[in-house]
Structure 1
């Protein structure tokens, strides 16, 4: 029988992007309001996040993917403190939703590309459900780092997709740098990771999504900050690679192009 899987050819697993959305990103400068402070902002956050977004997200994940989380109790071990969570980036619509339930009942603040808050209409509401767009300049960077510190002090969860680019239904873990691990090293917080894998379903073409949680991982006090970035990155990467072997369905086949191919 012929292989009917869609094939995507890639050159650079660190930088190739396969999301089909075409969005002109907003400039995230020193005037961008990251929110989190003030009565009005927090009231809107509670209403949009808890009352509106959570039921919609839960319904979508259950109906579309029969979503299930495994080892949620690992997160509960750090319920009284802040932590950072790293996940694989394989689904345009599910990836913004999964962190809500991985980190529940904590609020999940998700570091995102500016494209996310630039989506017409919807983008205006995403900061109220935890979207923290990456800054575009040094002054915005100071605001961004101050916001991360603020959420850590509030004992919230901060979620990062270290692969950065979406590869729909990809069943392996792409190589990623250790740069984003500077945050837990700087703030002395635990680290978790989650890996979304796809399972066979008897009567549905869309596979089941199962999210596996691993951790907590901690920095080694005997290492320097730079060494700890690499140390934490390797623990997360290895845990995610191990979980990715539990994939049962390959919806899309990714093939690396040689240098002489076009």
Structure 2
């Protein structure tokens, strides 16, 4: 790959290369997981619609987005499912799923640090954001919230690499436990791989996103075995699709010092 813009160093693939002043923000004990008051439901409907409109403009106009194999999701429009994706764009990764799977069905597991963003942060729960938990009681609430999403035949996006690495063209390792939710709910799994290609009149790349699935674990196997099967299927698919990246906007270099 050529046309490298800059170099980003890291010590380990688990490093967080994008930091903010509120990186360690955690959920308050009284966090409300369900926004079900009438005005909250109305605002959620409006906010999701506005966010979807912005997503169309941002993804297609700014990024020249191409989505490949989107049709595999069509039979699952009225079913709950999980979407696993590589995490390479701070903003685009938040909005792109709104136009791929449907804004009114969209939910995503996110870091509580995102709730500190100006204007957008406090509204994220109304657009389907499910924050990661820091206590046992919050973990129980998160599990209940995900189960409710599946009961309503919506979908959940998970970025198992956890930290965003902008423009990274490979797949970072992630744990098999990332697949505990689809195993518990026995819902299908898809994966969404973002790749980068050279744009003719811009140094910034265009995006090609591949959708693959569904993946299902073998029935009758232990929970651990099912998690491993899903992890293996998704990891191999993400790596295979990531090979479609032909442009390196940021070069990542390990610092062994």
TM range (shorter): over 0.9
Partner of 1:250: 248
Match of 1:86 in 2: 84
Equivalent residues in 2 for 1:66-81, closer than 5 Å? 66-81=64-79
Residue in 2 that maps onto 1:206: 204
Query: Number of residues paired by the alignment?
Result: 256
Q: Any idea what the Cα deviations from partners look like across 1:130-177, whole Å, max 9, x if unmatched?
A: 111111211111211111111110000011000001111000001111
Choose between structure 1 and 2: higher helix proportion.
Answer: 2
CA distance in 2, matches of 1:210, 1:108: 21
Displacement of 1:36 in angstroms is 4.6
Whether the aligned pair in 1 keeps the contact of 2:55 and 2:99 (CA below 8 Å) is: no
User: C-alpha displacement at 1:23, in angstroms?
Assistant: 2.1
Unaligned runs of 5+ in 2: none
Q: CA deviation at 1:29?
A: 4.0
Q: Give the CA deviation at 1:62.
A: 1.4
In 2, the alpha carbon distance for the partners of 1:42 and 1:255 equals 46
Check conservation: 1:192, 1:215, Cα contact below 8 A: yes
Structure 1 stretches of at least 4 aligned residues deviating more than 6 Å after TM superposition: none
RMSD of aligned residue pairs (Cα, Å): 1.7
Measured after TM superposition, the shift of residue 126 of structure 1 is 0.9
CA apart distance, 1:105: 6.0
C-alpha separation between the residues in 1 aligned to 2:239 and 2:253? 18
Offset at 1:248? 1.2
1:180 match: 178
Q: Distance between the aligned counterparts of 1:191 and 1:110, measured in 2?
A: 14
- Structure 1 unaligned spans of 5+: none
TM-score normalised by length of structure 2? 0.94
Match of 1:7 in 2: 7
The change in CA–CA distance for 1:24 and 1:162 in structure 2 (over 3 A counts) is closer
Post-superposition offset of 1:208: 0.7
Aligned partners of 1:117 and 1:131 also within 8 Å = no
The verdict on how the C-alpha distance between 1:65 and 1:99 changes in structure 2, with shifts beyond 3 A counting, is: same
Please show how residues 45-64 of structure 1 align to structure 2 within 5 Å: 45-50=44-49, 52-64=50-62
Change (3 A) 1:208 1:35: same
- Give the C-alpha shift of residue 35 in structure 1: 2.3
CA 199–4 in structure 1, closer or farther in 2 if over 3 Å, else same:
closer
TM-score, normalised with respect to structure 1 = 0.93
Structure 1 residue matching 2:44: 3-state secondary structure: helix
1:24 is displaced (CA, Å) by 4.8
